[in-house]
């Protein structure tokens, strides 16, 4: 399953690169977005194994759709009036998700698993900072590439991200270290909201 997961991720990333490389709309924000997605692929290829991974089919479904759906976006129309907001959202989202990935190091994964409880860096503020960064980045990408297709794809993606967060909480909640972390860091995604 691990090898299959890596092949699928790499294939979808190559297709994403191809779609954007063929576009005349290759804006510098899209290049930054593609670099962020490339980091996800690299971390997946270099991650360490675990024996505490969910075997529930629904968790695998949540993880795959939550990961791969965003790779189905296509170049679209820029909403120029919201351009400055897109810059802030994308750069902020990438900064948050990259800092979370660096804190995870080789503990990064797609499917809900326990590869060690992380409590430092961005994880000291919310329990799932990487997803917060993804939400901000994807909002920017939708502003920079608006289309009905992308809006639907990213709505599906967002739904599965929330399901994925719940799956990770269920798996990590078996670890006393994570239960202690939950008492210190109350919010999953956005402080004082969720």
pLDDT digits (tens, 9 = 90+) for 63-92: 888 888 887 888 888 888 998 999 999 999
Confidence of residue 2 (pLDDT cuts 50, 70, 90): low
The answer to whether residue 189 sits within a structural domain is: no
In angstroms, rounded to a whole number, what is the distance separating the alpha carbons of residues 36 and 93? 10
pLDDT digits (tens, 9 = 90+) for 104-128: 876 777 777 777 888 888 899 999 9
The answer to whether residue 127 sits within a structural domain is: yes
Residue 24, pLDDT > 60, answer no
Which pTM was predicted?
0.79
| Model pLDDT, residue 88 | 95
Of 18-32, 59-73, 133-147, the one with minimum mean pLDDT is: 18-32
The answer to whether residue 171 sits within a structural domain is: yes
- Identity of the highest mean pLDDT range in 5-14, 15-24, 155-164: 155-164
Confidence of residue 154 (pLDDT cuts 50, 70, 90): very high
The answer to whether residue 193 sits within a structural domain is: no
The answer to whether residue 190 sits within a structural domain is: no
In angstroms, rounded to a whole number, what is the distance separating the alpha carbons of residues 179 and 194? 17
Q: In which domain, by residue range, is 76 found?
A: 2-184
SS3 string of the chain?
A: CHHHHHHHHHHHHHHHHHHHHCCCCCCHHHHHHHHHHHHHHHHHHHCCCCCCECCCHHHHHHHHHHHHHHHHCCCCECCHHHHHHHHHHHHHHHHHHHHHHHHHHHHCCCCCECCCCCCCHHHHCCCCHHHHHHHHHHHHHHHHCECHHHHHHHHHHHHHHHHHHHHHHHHHCCCHHHHHHHHHCCCCCCCCCC
The answer to whether residue 192 sits within a structural domain is: no
> For the chain, what is the domain count?
1
Domain of 56, CATH number, reads 1.20.120.1630
The answer to whether residue 191 sits within a structural domain is: no
The answer to whether residue 194 sits within a structural domain is: no
């Amino acid at each position: 399953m691990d090898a299959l997961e890596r092949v699928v991720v790499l294939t979808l990333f190559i297709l994403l690169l191809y779609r954007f490389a063929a576009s005349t709309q290759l804006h510098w924000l899209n290049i930054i977005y593609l670099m962020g997605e490339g980091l996800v692929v690299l971390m997946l290829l270099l991650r360490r194994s675990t024996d505490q991974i969910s075997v529930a089919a629904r968790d695998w479904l949540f993880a795959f759709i939550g990961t791969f759906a965003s790779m189905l976006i296509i170049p679209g129309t820029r909403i120029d009036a919201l351009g400055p907001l897109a810059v802030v959202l994308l750069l902020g989202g990438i900064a948050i998700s990259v800092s979370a990935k660096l804190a995870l190091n080789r503990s990064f994964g797609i499917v809900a698993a326990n590869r060690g409880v992380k409590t430092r860096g961005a994880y000291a503020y919310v329990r799932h900072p990487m997803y917060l960064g993804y939400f901000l980045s994807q909002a920017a990408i939708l502003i920079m590439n608006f289309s009905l297709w992308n809006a639907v794809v990213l709505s599906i993606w967002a739904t599965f991200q929330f399901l994925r967060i719940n799956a990770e909480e269920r798996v990590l909640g078996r670890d006393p270290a994570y239960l202690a972390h939950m008492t210190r860091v109350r919010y999953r995604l956005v402080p004082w909201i969720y």
